[in-house]
């Protein structure tokens, strides 16, 4: 039954009342003069934390800190995370969903993206797991400890919080530590809650939780709950407890990670096989031989263990890093100097570092933990500093922003991490929040909807054409006129009628992307997008974008249209003897006269020739032709500098 803690019922009622009173005082600045009924409804989750903390004798700040690192206190309406985690405490029940094939093994995109070689289309199958690690089965254990049903723990936030408190108390007792009222005494139990089996990951997780407690947090959850955690800046946890937690020591190897994350070396093999074939990446000498311009964010759509098996297969594809959802742990597979096969565009692969974020469920409306967001942001900040990569959306790309290198590849390009990746929060963690940089009615905008309240209807998350569960989104839908009765914008490169399908990016813009303004009409703003005038709803009271300034390109005077490219390759005369010239082939898109597109970078044409296992023939070819990277549609693209004029937009 619920309440296996040995304290008396009377003592529980006293502790609950004290906790609730303290919580009410804490919330007064947030609630102001709101009516009492509204206060009761708006802070019911905070009161649930106070009640669970008292019942299981866990310091409320510890319970709140752990929950914030897992979910930022969001309940997600009972929907599971990418690792089958539920509710504010992210109680995991992976048996409720089995992993599907990771997105690289769908067979529709050549992850290498080099037309100089035969297309690489893996058909690797991922077996369904027969067992799950303890970090993915915390919900059943919480059910045993509380006497609550699994359904209650999945769908009732208050029950979920109680389950998390019970797990923390159980870990504390198992460690032989007292159920102390001092949050400093709970360090090892917090580390255990992460589910990590190694000291480095568990410590990194616990350090994050205590950082949250020290700094304090306030926010309104996805269910409209007002939540607050008072700052305790002088809190110093007993970190020495972790020595007795029975965790393994991690083999970090020669990893390239910041000290603020846990990181291990699980190498992708560089091996020959078959008929002079090799994999699963190319050796390079970056940044000495060529600069690194991009970091590409992926979602695995597969479980941690299965994905690690795949990246260690020499006949498969590769990426530089994989990040685990439950605790933010990182595995590195390919050195930054080498070129991994992950983005589906050889030019982007040769200029990028790929980060795969664990996704256990096939349906894209699952959510990601705060632990993984924070770990990923730390890694990206570290890489951006090391390789001088700008922290903006034309250099920190989603896989769904990578262009098809040629016309034939456009329809098969991938769409992860999808509309539910919280780009606004991610860039806040990167220390580069999206802000207005111009006055209203500027000639540019930065897309920036409120993630939680922005809930466009998507279909096909679970069943084709069936609406997905309501969910916050980073993306804004585009129409051919100033109203939702107009048709959706069509992507001629895909060759299909645009839909609201969760994987159809034809008519969507994403948070942080910047576009030149084409027109305005009341609550609607038009931008230049895929060679068309595309409209999105942008009311003053709930704006989907903020004014921006920067550089834009437009066709040179006298040119009615100019071609658009999916890769910035050199002119034919730049290739030395022994390196076949690669076609500078335009995509089926145009930039028309007077249209404008935001500039991301100016780069020379460049091609990395690497088609043999031995590296003696590898060469970086750099041309004289220059290109501008532009935000053309949902994906970036390139135009020749000789075809355009650059203007300042304010």
- Please count the other Cβ atoms lying within 10 Å of the Cβ belonging to residue 434: 21
Query: Cα(528)–Cα(590) distance, rounded to whole angstroms?
Result: 12
| Residue 629: pLDDT over 60 | yes
For 350-387, b/e burial (b = at least 16 CB within 10 A) is bbbbbbbbbbbbbbbbbbbbbbbbbbbbbbbbbbbeeb
| Residue 210: pLDDT over 90 | yes
Domain over 251-419 is classified CATH 3.40.80.10: yes
Say if residues 342 and 295 touch (Cβ distance below 8 Å): no
Average pLDDT for residues 633-639, to the nearest whole number?
98
| Residue 606: pLDDT over 80 | yes
So where are the chain's domains? 9-93+137-244, 251-419, 435-547, 554-649
Could you tell me the CA-to-CA distances from 11 to 180, 181, 470, 521 in Å, in that order?
Answer: 15, 14, 41, 63
Average pLDDT for residues 418-427, to the nearest whole number?
94
Of 19-23, 180-184, 202-206, 638-642, the poorest mean pLDDT is in 19-23
Backbone angles phi, psi at 20, to 5 degrees: -65, -40
Backbone angles phi, psi at 474, to 5 degrees: -85, -5
Average pLDDT for residues 248-277, to the nearest whole number?
90
| Residue 17: pLDDT over 60 | no
Architecture of domain 9-93+137-244: Orthogonal Bundle (1.10)
pLDDT tens digits, one per residue of 275-326? 778 999 999 999 999 999 999 999 887 778 888 988 999 988 999 999 999 9
Which SS3 state, helix, strand or coil, does residue 303 take? coil
Mean per-residue pLDDT over the chain, rounded: 90
Query: Cα(110)–Cα(411) distance, rounded to whole angstroms?
Result: 12
Query: Cα(482)–Cα(487) distance, rounded to whole angstroms?
Result: 10
Of 152-156, 364-368, 510-514, the poorest mean pLDDT is in 364-368
- Residues for the chain: how many in total? 650
Residue 39 pLDDT level (bands cut at 50, 70, 90): low
Residue for token pair 């093999």: 269
Residue for token pair 């997780």: 205
Residue 163 pLDDT level (bands cut at 50, 70, 90): very high
pLDDT tens digits, one per residue of 480-505? 999 999 999 999 999 999 999 999 99
Of 1-15, 173-187, 202-216, 232-246, the poorest mean pLDDT is in 1-15
Find how far residue 104's CA is from the centre of its chain: 17
Of 245-259, 473-487, 591-605, the poorest mean pLDDT is in 245-259
Backbone angles phi, psi at 328, to 5 degrees: 80, 10
pLDDT of residue 543: 97
Tokens of 308: 């690690």
pLDDT tens digits, one per residue of 265-283? 999 999 998 877 899 999 9
| Residue 8: pLDDT over 80 | no
| Residue 344: pLDDT over 80 | yes
E strand or H helix that includes residue 277: strand 277-279
Phi-psi region of 374 (alpha: psi -120 to 50; beta: other; left: phi over 0): alpha
% of the chain with per-residue pLDDT over 90: 76
Average pLDDT for residues 419-430, to the nearest whole number?
96
Query: Cα(260)–Cα(382) distance, rounded to whole angstroms?
Result: 10
Say if residues 520 and 526 touch (Cβ distance below 8 Å): yes
Query: Cα(286)–Cα(280) distance, rounded to whole angstroms?
Result: 17
Fold match between domain 9-93+137-244 and domain 251-419: no
């Amino acid at each position: 039954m619920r309440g296996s803690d040995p304290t008396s019922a009377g003592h529980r009622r006293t502790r609950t009342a004290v906790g609730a009173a303290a919580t009410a005082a804490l919330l007064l600045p947030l609630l102001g003069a709101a009516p009492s009924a509204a206060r009761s409804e708006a802070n019911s989750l905070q009161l649930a934390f106070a009640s669970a903390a008292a019942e299981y004798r866990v310091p409320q700040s510890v319970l709140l800190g752990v929950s914030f690192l897992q979910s930022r206190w969001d309940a997600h309406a009972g929907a599971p995370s990418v690792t089958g985690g539920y509710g504010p405490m992210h109680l995991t029940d992976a048996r409720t969903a089995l992993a599907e094939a990771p997105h690289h093994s769908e067979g529709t995109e050549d992850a290498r993206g080099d037309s100089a070689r035969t297309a690489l289309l893996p058909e690797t199958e991922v077996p369904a797991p027969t067992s799950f690690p303890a970090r993915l089965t915390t919900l059943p254990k919480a059910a045993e400890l509380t006497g609550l049903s699994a359904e209650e723990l999945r769908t009732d936030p208050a029950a979920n919080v109680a389950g998390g408190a019970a797990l923390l108390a159980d870990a504390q007792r198992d460690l032989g530590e007292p159920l102390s009222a001092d949050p400093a005494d709970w360090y090892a139990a917090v580390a255990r809650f992460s589910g990590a089996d190694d000291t480095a990951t568990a410590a990194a997780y616990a350090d994050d939780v205590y950082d949250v407690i020290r700094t304090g947090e306030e926010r309104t959850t996805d269910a409209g709950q007002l939540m607050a955690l008072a700052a305790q800046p002088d809190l110093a946890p007993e970190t020495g407890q972790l020595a007795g937690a029975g965790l393994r020591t991690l083999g970090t190897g020669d990893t390239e990670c910041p000290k603020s994350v846990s990181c291990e070396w699980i190498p992708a093999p560089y091996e020959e096989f078959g008929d002079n074939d090799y994999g699963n990446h190319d050796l390079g000498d970056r940044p000495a031989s060529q600069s690194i311009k991009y970091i590409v964010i992926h979602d695995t759509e597969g479980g941690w263990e299965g994905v690690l098996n795949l990246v260690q297969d020499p006949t498969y594809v590769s990426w530089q890093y994989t990040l685990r959802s439950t605790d933010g742990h990182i595995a590195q597979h390919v050195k930054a100097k080498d070129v991994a096969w992950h983005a589906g565009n050889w030019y982007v692969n040769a200029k990028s570092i790929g980060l795969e974020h664990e996704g256990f469920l096939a349906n894209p409306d699952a959510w990601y933990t705060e632990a993984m967001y924070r770990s990923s942001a730390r890694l990206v900040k570290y890489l951006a500093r090391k390789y001088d990569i700008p922290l903006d959306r034309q250099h920190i790309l989603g896989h769904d922003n990578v262009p098809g290198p040629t016309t034939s590849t456009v329809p098969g390009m991938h769409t992860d991490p999808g509309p539910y990746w919280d780009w606004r929060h991610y860039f806040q963690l990167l220390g580069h929040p999206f802000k207005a940089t111009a006055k209203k009615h500027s000639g540019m905008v930065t897309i920036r909807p409120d993630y939680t309240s922005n809930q466009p209807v998507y279909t096909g998350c679970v069943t084709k054409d069936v609406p997905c569960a309501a969910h916050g989104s980073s993306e804004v839908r585009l129409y051919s006129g100033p109203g939702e009765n107009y048709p959706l914008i069509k992507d001629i490169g895909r060759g299909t009628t645009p839909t609201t399908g969760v994987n159809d990016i034809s008519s969507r813009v994403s948070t942080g992307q910047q576009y030149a303004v084409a027109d305005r009409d009341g609550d609607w703003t038009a931008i230049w997008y895929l060679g068309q005038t595309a409209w999105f709803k942008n009311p003053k009271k709930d704006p989907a974008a903020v004014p921006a300034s920067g550089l834009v390109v437009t066709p040179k005077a006298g040119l009615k249209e100019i071609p658009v490219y999916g890769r910035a390759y050199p002119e034919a005369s730049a290739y030395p003897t022994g390196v076949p010239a690669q076609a500078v082939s335009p995509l089926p898109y145009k930039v028309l006269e007077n249209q404008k597109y935001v500039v991301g970078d100016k780069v020379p044409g460049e091609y990395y020739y690497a088609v043999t296992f031995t590296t003696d023939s590898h060469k970086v070819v750099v041309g004289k032709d220059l290109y501008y990277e532009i935000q053309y549609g949902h994906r970036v693209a390139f135009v020749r500098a000789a075809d355009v004029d650059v203007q300042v937009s304010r």
